[in-house]
Chains A and B, each alone.
Chain A
Amino acid sequence: MAYFGRRFLHMLIVLWAIATILFLLFRLMPTDPSIAHLDPTFTEEQRQLVRAQFGLDRPLFEQYLIYMKNLAEGEFGLSFRQRQPVMGLVLAVLPNTLLLTSSALIVAYLFGALLGASLAWRRGSLFEKISVPLVLATRAAPEFWLGMIVLAIFAFGLNWFPSGGANVAGARYASEWERIFSLDYLRHLVLPVLTLAIYLQGLPALLMRSNMLEIMREEFVTMARMKGLSERRIMLRHAARNALLPLVTAFALGFGQSVGGNVVIENVFSWPGLGRLLVDAVANSDYPLAQGAFLVIAFVLVVMNFIADLMYGLLDPRVVHGEH
């Protein structure tokens, strides 16, 4: 419990620090962020009015206090361009990102764990010698390029799946749930998930392989052999089960990182998610929106890091039952 409390406090401090860094970044830049937004034909009076509207005429420290107070209340301000609350815009696309990330990660980790386990099991075989560099190559490939190849083949070449977006244009749904569970949405989800999964599976595969190889040298694996257990049982129940522990942590960490890393995939597939929102906001100098999207991405990352810590404790009996 003390462990939980300490980690939780740590998480809050990191969130505060990130928010502060972001505040300083946007305020201390040589160019006034409001300039980008302003029409050059505005009079000085109009300009001041807009600045006052965004609180940019106050002293820096006061701005910071207002900013922090607003953040604590979940108030991210108005989008420069869309004239809507940032929070609403971010929350509208958040489910798309979370769904894309979690589906891709589940596919990637299931596949990666199986692949890694069989690579370790069949170490030294031709299968392993070919697969390991191949897996490394998927880690080396730029995500957006993988996405382009997938698009060219499955969307344009074979015409199996749509090339972008999350729903057919103009489609109407009674509720958000109905939209997400519609066949149309799932069809749009397939290619981005496939691409992301190809990119993500390398880490669990390589991690699983090296964990397994390490554990196969442990005495309890030798003992399992001496007990006359079947090789399948030794590999699955003992080697793989032990090798899986670090993978669970990697999954949680991967989730946090992937929400940020999805930026590229979401843009290739025009997937209406957080990453695409961030890129559009930055490209249009819509600073409140960019700030909001960034903070939510960072929030997910930090929270997932926190969860990863807790999960590791839950899954490893050595951590749960005393004796650290």
Chain B
Amino acid sequence: MGTLLEVKGLSVSYRRGGVAVRAVDAVDLDVPAGAMLGLVGESGCGKSTLARALMGVLPGNASIDGGRVALDGEDLTELTPAKRRQRLWRELSFVPQTSMNALDPVYRLRDQMREVLCERGGLPTKAADERAVALFRSVGLDPVRLTDFPHQFSGGMRQRAAIAMALALNPKLVIADEPVTALDVIVQRQVLDTIRRLGRDLGLSAIIVTHDISVVTYLCGLTAVMYAGRIVEQGTTEALTRRPTHPYTMGLMNASPDLHEPVETLVPIEGAPPDLADPPKGCRFAPRCPLALAACRESDPPPVVVEPGHSAACFRAAEAGALREAARKASTWTR
């Protein structure tokens, strides 16, 4: 399988009261065609910003400082705004976190579907309506509801509608930002099942942004862990869950209930992520890391390949086995 999306050295910063805050710092990321990649991290780690930067739609006070985002070999950051706009939704679509406001409250779903299918997909109205019916069915919604307004939908239905809309033009890649976070647990599971089924049936390529590692293990073959604006570890989900190499990943696993291998106690990582306006020297996780060495606070650890397709940015990657032993003990994390 070839690489569909290749991100190299992507950096994004916000201006906040005259200070530039780098929310995404030199991120490298690859998504092969037909794969689902889970992008996981605590809130505020920059994962949503990264997702929006991939779409090229950022708030007014944010800007891309550098790096490339290549889709099928074509660097999107080099395109003119007009050309880039042409790529959007046809090649790259988005499922937002808050589907409540993601749908325009004054239009019926059918009209919002038509807007995408006719304006962007070039379909005539009749064909668009047929396609909308098919899309609604595929995400498990009754096509009758196409004539409803967004506020008449439940949260789960809105999320399904948002997924249907993202699939409307058969994009090469779908980026979903916390697609199930706003939903209650049962609905979460149903929507996750739908996404999993679509992924299998359509051979969907997707990036699933989430803070919940169980969502990743359920849906994604690949995982990237983000901390304080950087990718600290990435590889297959299996490798990461069985052989986490970065202490932050180990901490995350301890802090989330695992469906396959239940740990005895859930241990949270103490402390809070660093202020990105003034990041610490060295490894950004070092101040919270119980396994950190003096060197970790001095210089930035570069990513190290620990096995084919699995890399981690940690000086102690070679001793990962011993670290995992230590990390499994709750006492390691409480100081």
Contacts and interface: CB of A to CB of B under 8 A. Distances in A.
A237 B93 CA distance: 20
Most B CB atoms within 10 A — which of A218, A220, A317?
A: A220
Contact of B116 (A227, A242, A321, A323): A227
Query: How many B residues touch the partner, as a band?
Result: 20 to 34
Given A223-B94, A318-B149, A323-B151, A228 B120 contact: yes
Contacts of A229: 115, 119-120
A237 B115 CA distance: 10
A225 interface: yes
Interface string A195-226: 00000000000000000000000111011111
A321 B106 contact: no
Contacts of B119: 229, 233
A7 interface: no
A321 B98 CA distance: 22
B315 interface: no
Contacts of A316: 106
Contacts of A245: 106
B94 A228 contact: no
A323 B90 CA distance: 35
Contact of B88 (A220, A227, A238): A227
A222 B104 CA distance: 11
A223 B102 contact: yes
B101 interface: yes
Interface string B121-150: 000000000000000000000000000110
A322 B152 CA distance: 8
Smallest CB-CB A-B distances: 3 pairs: A228-B88, A219-B101, A317-B149
Contacts of B148: 321
Interface string A98-122: 0000000000000000000000000
Interface of A: 218-220, 222-230, 233, 237-238, 241-242, 245, 316-318, 321-323
A245 B106 CA distance: 10
B279 interface: no
B118 to A, nearest CB: 11
23 contacts: A219-B98, A219-B102, A220-B102, A222-B57, A223-B96, A225-B88, A226-B57, A226-B94, A227-B89, A228-B120, A229-B115, A229-B119, A229-B120, A237-B115, A242-B105, A242-B106, A317-B105, A317-B106, A317-B151, A318-B105, A321-B148, A321-B151, A323-B152
B89 A228 contact: yes
B226 interface: no
Contacts of A228: 85-90, 120
Given A228-B85, A241-B106, 12 more contacts: A219-B96, A219-B98, A225-B57, A226-B55, A226-B88, A227-B89, A227-B116, A227-B120, A242-B106, A245-B106, A316-B106, A317-B106
A224 B120 CA distance: 11
A219 B102 CA distance: 5
Interface SS of chain A: helix
A218 B96 CA distance: 12
Given A228-B85, A323-B151, A220 B120 contact: no
Determine which residue in B57, B96, B104 has the highest number of CB atoms from chain A within 10 A of its CB, and name it: B104
Nearest to B152: A321
A322 B148 CA distance: 12
A218 B101 contact: yes
Given A219-B98, A223-B96, A238 B55 contact: no
A238 B96 CA distance: 17
Contacts of B102: 219-220, 223
Contacts of B88: 225-228
Nearest to A218: B101
A230 B81 CA distance: 11
Interface string B41-70: 000000000000001010000000000000
A233 B104 CA distance: 13
Contacts of A238: 104
B50 to A, nearest CB: 15
Contacts of A317: 105-106, 149, 151
Nearest to B104: A220
A87 to B, nearest CB: 43
Contacts of A224: 104
A220 B85 CA distance: 17
Which of A224, A233, A323 has its CB near the most chain B CB atoms (within 10 A)?
A224
Contacts of B317: none
B289 interface: no
B26 interface: no
Nearest to A123: B60
B103 interface: yes
B103 A220 contact: yes
B95 to A, nearest CB: 10
Contacts of B149: 317-318, 321
Nearest to A228: B88
A128 to B, nearest CB: 15
A316 B150 CA distance: 12
Contacts of B120: 227-229
Interface in B145-185: 148-149, 151-152
A88 B315 CA distance: 95
B230 to A, nearest CB: 25
Contacts of B90: 228
Contact of B104 (A226, A230, A242): A242
Contacts of B105: 220, 242, 317-318
